[in-house]
Structure 1
Amino acid sequence: MLSKLTQWFGTRRRDRALRDYAIEDALWQATLDGLPFLAHLDAPDRVRLRELTSLFIAQKEFSTAHDLELTDAMTVAIAAQACLPVLNLSLDLYRGWVGVIVYPGEFVIRKTVEDEDGVVHEVEHDASGEAWEGGPVVLSWEDAQMTGGTDAYNVVIHEFAHKIDMLTGEADGHPPLMRRWHAPLDSQAWADIFDHAYDQFCAKVDAVPDRRWARFERDSLIDPYAADHPSEFFAVCSEALFVQPHAFEAEYPELYRLLARYYRQDPARAGLTFPPA
């Protein structure tokens, strides 16, 4: 009886959120038009993404910095991209935090780092996005609009992949594997494929001569930045899966299948099927 009552209240809250945060038809169509990588979704998936986007907006708090005006178009565009990875999973993967902060462009991140000799340094660098463990996602609106290029760049998907990765306690490239979604995929199977692919990619990056570095950066589907850490490799590959799925599947077929199985989506239409959740 208690379970049925809890489910009833959950349904009531969901229905109210969908009603209170409904997205107008014209705004939703403009959002789809501005995000060409969503074209692979069929009509039922687009309906579910629209509903999930409304629920995401109901759960999160959007704010801006440097006097940037927050518009409905900005909110819906960011929310739709954030919801794409969890379309066949759950918004529960974004639990435990509420803030989405949008800057007009790149912003400065200041960090304290310790080098190999134990010396502590204060460093700062420009960033287009950052995901804080237990805190907000911070995004550059200028970068969030870079959605129509031929590369695999998508700062929103990147940062929200970090949020998923962080659910295991730290961002390490090993996101949580849930039995109801990911069986028979387990942590060992993930490590066998993902860690091997990461090591291979790092070796590939390390082997590039300085004189060919600019060309490698230009031609590589996976941004060389992905070699910095397994968490970055997971986030960058998540971008590629959704933004350039055909090129990703062609160049990294085993890694494509792994991430497709994780997100329970096959945007390249590679013939993958997923067990019922």
Structure 2
Amino acid sequence: MGVFQSLIARFRAPVPPIDDTLWRQAVARVPLVRALDAPRAHYLRQLAATFLHTKRFQALGGTELDDFWRLAIAMQASLPALPRGPRAFKGWTNVLVYPGEFNVRRSHYDAPTGVVTDSDDTLIGEAWDRGPMVLSLADVALDLEAPWDGFNVVVHEMAHKLDMLSGPANGVPPLPPSMNRRQWIDTMQRGFDRLSKAVDRGRRTAIDPYASEAPEEYFAVTSELHFSQPALLREAEPDVAALLEAFYGPSPASHS
């Protein structure tokens, strides 16, 4: 077999299945997956296997990353991907995992003055356009301990990855044919505007104020709520909750 044929054979190689014992252990420790109905849990197992097969995990800063933690990340990243399938994972390869919070240096260019200023941000997760997903393992672990508190760093970053499938994140991911893009934009914009006004006025909000940073953050934060605290989202923004249920499918929290 020549080099070209060998590469084709490798590309077409089947995705290695997840070991049964490891899968059962992971399901027992990942409540969002344990709460899924049987058909979606079966498909999620296939998607998680694809994620593990196509993504390259890199443990940074002394992170201890074993098979369980790789699978736990893959399972939670696959939850938002369920309606779209493996296409949801296109455009990027690496998953960078730090033991805890990590610092990112950013440069800001002020056009009127021409001044460039640098600042350091402390993060628990980040998703780069056509680049890696970056995670704090301590926060991934916290999400397993408190699965229904409205926060999930892997879901948050995977929502950004879905958003980026059509270009830089803007809060409008590629939608299925059954959903109307204009309705999505109008509904999410109204929710974002209501939250932003409340935050600007110093009011306490049900939705994390971080969602008011930008439309793409509003989408990612409300995606976290859909999967881990949908009742709060339905009470705060029923139209947004209905839209996300149409996009992602029923929340596993509804069966917890």
* TM exceeding 0.5: yes
TM-score where L is the length of structure 2: 0.88
Question: In 2, are the aligned partners of 1:249 and 1:268 still within 8 Å (CA)?
Answer: no
Report the Cα offset of residue 125 of structure 1.
1.3
Q: Label 1:204 to 1:91 Cα distance change in 2 as closer, same or farther (>3 A).
A: same
In the alignment, the residues of structure 2 paired with residue 84 and residue 32 of structure 1 have an alpha-carbon distance, to the nearest angstrom, of 13
Q: 172, 193, 217: which is aligned to 1:232?
A: 217
Structure 1 unaligned residues grouped into runs of 5+:
1-8, 210-215, 271-277
* Counterpart in the other structure of 1:197: 191
Report the Cα offset of residue 39 of structure 1.
3.9
Question: Secondary structure of 2:126's match?
Answer: strand
Question: Secondary structure of 1:208's match?
Answer: coil
In the alignment, the residues of structure 1 paired with residue 28 and residue 214 of structure 2 have an alpha-carbon distance, to the nearest angstrom, of 34
* Counterpart in the other structure of 2:166: 168
Note the alpha carbon deviations across 1:54-87, whole angstroms, 9 max, x for none: 1110111111101223200010000000000011
1:137 paired with 2:137, answer no
* Counterpart in the other structure of 1:261: 246
In the alignment, the residues of structure 2 paired with residue 263 and residue 37 of structure 1 have an alpha-carbon distance, to the nearest angstrom, of 14
* Counterpart in the other structure of 1:213: none
Report the Cα offset of residue 267 of structure 1.
4.1
Question: Secondary structure of 2:193's match?
Answer: helix
* Counterpart in the other structure of 2:3: none
Structure 2 unaligned residues grouped into runs of 5+:
1-7
In the alignment, the residues of structure 2 paired with residue 152 and residue 115 of structure 1 have an alpha-carbon distance, to the nearest angstrom, of 35
In the alignment, the residues of structure 2 paired with residue 228 and residue 268 of structure 1 have an alpha-carbon distance, to the nearest angstrom, of 26
* Counterpart in the other structure of 1:4: none
Question: In 2, are the aligned partners of 1:152 and 1:221 still within 8 Å (CA)?
Answer: no
Q: How does 1:1-277 map to 2 (within 5 A)?
A: 13=12, 16-17=14-15, 20=16, 22-115=17-110, 117-118=112-113, 119-147=115-143, 148-149=145-146, 150-179=148-177, 183=178, 185-208=179-202, 216=204, 220-267=205-252
Question: In 1, are the aligned partners of 2:188 and 2:240 still within 8 Å (CA)?
Answer: yes
**Number of matched residues?**
244
Q: Match of 1:69, as an amino acid?
A: E
Q: Match of 2:127, as an amino acid?
A: A
Question: Secondary structure of 1:195's match?
Answer: helix
| Percent of paired sites with the same residue | 39
Question: Secondary structure of 1:70's match?
Answer: coil
In the alignment, the residues of structure 2 paired with residue 268 and residue 84 of structure 1 have an alpha-carbon distance, to the nearest angstrom, of 12
In the alignment, the residues of structure 1 paired with residue 107 and residue 76 of structure 2 have an alpha-carbon distance, to the nearest angstrom, of 31
Q: Match of 1:79, as an amino acid?
A: A
Question: Secondary structure of 2:80's match?
Answer: helix
Note the alpha carbon deviations across 1:180-224, whole angstroms, 9 max, x for none: xxx2x2221111111011101111111226xxxxxx3xxx44211
In the alignment, the residues of structure 1 paired with residue 100 and residue 174 of structure 2 have an alpha-carbon distance, to the nearest angstrom, of 31
Report the Cα offset of residue 27 of structure 1.
2.0
Report the Cα offset of residue 268 of structure 1.
5.8
In the alignment, the residues of structure 1 paired with residue 139 and residue 254 of structure 2 have an alpha-carbon distance, to the nearest angstrom, of 27
Q: Match of 2:57, as an amino acid?
A: F
Question: Secondary structure of 1:146's match?
Answer: helix
Q: Label 1:39 to 1:253 Cα distance change in 2 as closer, same or farther (>3 A).
A: farther
Q: Label 1:114 to 1:71 Cα distance change in 2 as closer, same or farther (>3 A).
A: same
Q: Match of 1:189, as an amino acid?
A: Q
TM-score where L is the length of structure 1: 0.81
Q: Match of 2:152, as an amino acid?
A: N
